[in-house]
Structure 1
Amino acid sequence: MSITESPIKVLFVGESWIKHTIHMKGFDQFHSTEYEEGAGYFLSCMDEAGFDVTYVRGHEISLRFPRSAEELDAFDVVVISDIGSNSFLLPDETFLRSEKSPNRLELVADFVKRGGGFLMIGGYLSFTGIDGKGRYGMSPLAAPLPVALLPHDDRIERSEGVGVEVCAPDHPVLGDTPADWPELLGYNRLIAKPDATVVATAGKDPMLVVGEYGQGRTAAFASDLAPHWAPQEFLDWPHYAGLWAAILTWTAQA
């Protein structure tokens, strides 16, 4: 898929992390710190497809994520992937200095209600997340999401692989994506809302769910866009880029 006119403007948030490692070598030990990003291939695919993507990394949210409706309106779609709600709800001025600040997730919910697009992609800190730390079910995004969230750790780990069944093959959110998907290695367990459309499943659980909220469109993809839940076979799949481009295009109502 290629977009040649008026590129869709995407605000992509998350998919970055910092690791602190303790190295034990006999009697001695030392520490090291590594910074990593998981969305590189996804972002390069969307860039090649013609999308205008602004990337806000996890540690940049307090400083760079929009603080007003006017700033959000510069985009067509907001994508949140593997970053918990606390990163939006506890900016530096509030957490460190006890100062009031805009509720950025409320801004996103209002953005969708007014016609914007919103996509959440699965991960350890998406939806409810590991140990319940994602906490989006307790946030303003619980309303626009096309899925209800579990009140506890929602991860389903499938180390043996789990197949995806496309149950709405003609839905435009899929574009030209075929029904034969590579297996995935896990996902967040979601519950489709009654007025939402389940496009694909993993067993009995929703994998791709879409819906509407106010004048906007929303989508939930229960698994990952990169390892570990999305194995290399998924990234090498010839339809990887086309699937994400179709989801973003549909969500943006473009």
Structure 2
Amino acid sequence: MSEPIKLLFAGESWMTHSIHVKGFDSFEMSSYHEGGTEMIAALCDAGVDVTYQPSHIAADSFPTSKEELDKFDVVVLSDIGANTLLLPDRTIIRSERSGNRLQLLADFVRGGGGLLMVGGYLTFQGIQAKGNYKDSPVEGILPVSLQASDDRSEQPQGIRPEIVDTAHPTVAGLTEWPHFLGFNKSTLHPDAHLVARFGDQPFIAVRQPGAGRSAIFSSDCGPHWGPPEFVAWEGYPILWLNIVSWLAKR
């Protein structure tokens, strides 16, 4: 029996601080949210060994050495900006040098590892370009080239993907796709393979840089671009296991 795929999932968490005004009086309220719960649960149910680091944990706990990163077969970045990985507390607060974890990720993939970037407001370039992966070492191993500006394509009316390569392992067994409410725009890399698209924009694309593999899924793994119909779709767990298995060369 083969060892389970070991996967590091970073991102998909946020905190909200709101002010409620009720006439003369007001009060503040704070809440914490995680958006990758369904995807992580689907992978765990399929036997994938998932280590989850919410964004505020990944800031200081994401691997800083080849030895740490090589414990994993696949890394998933979902709605986590480049600055979170580039600026741990020891650098941004204490002005100490730290390893470039984006370069570490690029080296990890070229050395045989797998990387999946999932879309959102803080991956690709994201809202107001704050994802900040353009011209980074990570962009250098992705299947797409990123825009320099805000790359969101909001589709509130709902949009369905077109599967270009129905025979590719990442979409095996998947039919009648649900709608999505948006995605990150990008340009297919010359060395990449397009699996699915929204119009002329990549939706699922894969690439094999060096000895490793990379993939993008340009919409959300859950709300808000991935609506309840997507999360409840019978193909949802199959999709993520397909992509992760391809990245891990299983």
**TM-score band w.r.t. shorter chain:** over 0.9
* Paired AA for residue 189 in structure 1: K
The alpha-carbon deviation at position 30 of structure 1 amounts to: 1.4
1:226 and 2:222 are equivalent in the alignment: yes
1:191-244 deviations in Å (ceiling 9; x for gaps): 100111110011121100100111000001100010110011111110100011
The alpha-carbon deviation at position 175 of structure 1 amounts to: 2.8
Give 5+ residue unaligned stretches, structure 2: none
1:87 and 2:84 are equivalent in the alignment: yes
Question: Residues 163 and 203 of structure 1 are in contact (CA less than 8 Å); yes or no, is this contact kept in structure 2?
Answer: no
* Paired AA for residue 153 in structure 1: D
* Counterpart mapping for 1:88-107 below 5 A: 88-107=85-104
Q: 1:74 aligns with which of 59, 71, 74?
A: 71
The equivalent residue for 1:36 is: 33
Question: Residues 5 and 49 of structure 2 are in contact (CA less than 8 Å); yes or no, is this contact kept in structure 1?
Answer: yes
The equivalent residue for 1:205 is: 201
1:190 and 2:186 are equivalent in the alignment: yes
Paired with 1:201 and 1:39, the residues of 2 have a C-alpha distance of 22
The equivalent residue for 1:116 is: 113
For normalisation by structure 1, the TM-score amounts to: 0.97
Give 5+ residue unaligned stretches, structure 1: none
Paired with 1:159 and 1:75, the residues of 2 have a C-alpha distance of 37
Identical counterparts, % of pairs? 49
The alpha-carbon deviation at position 140 of structure 1 amounts to: 1.2
Paired with 1:200 and 1:75, the residues of 2 have a C-alpha distance of 27
The alpha-carbon deviation at position 174 of structure 1 amounts to: 1.8
1:14-51 deviations in Å (ceiling 9; x for gaps): 00000011111111211111000011111111110000
* Paired AA for residue 159 in structure 1: P
Paired with 1:236 and 1:19, the residues of 2 have a C-alpha distance of 26
Q: 1:248 aligns with which of 227, 244, 248?
A: 244
Paired with 1:24 and 1:142, the residues of 2 have a C-alpha distance of 43
The alpha-carbon deviation at position 5 of structure 1 amounts to: 3.0
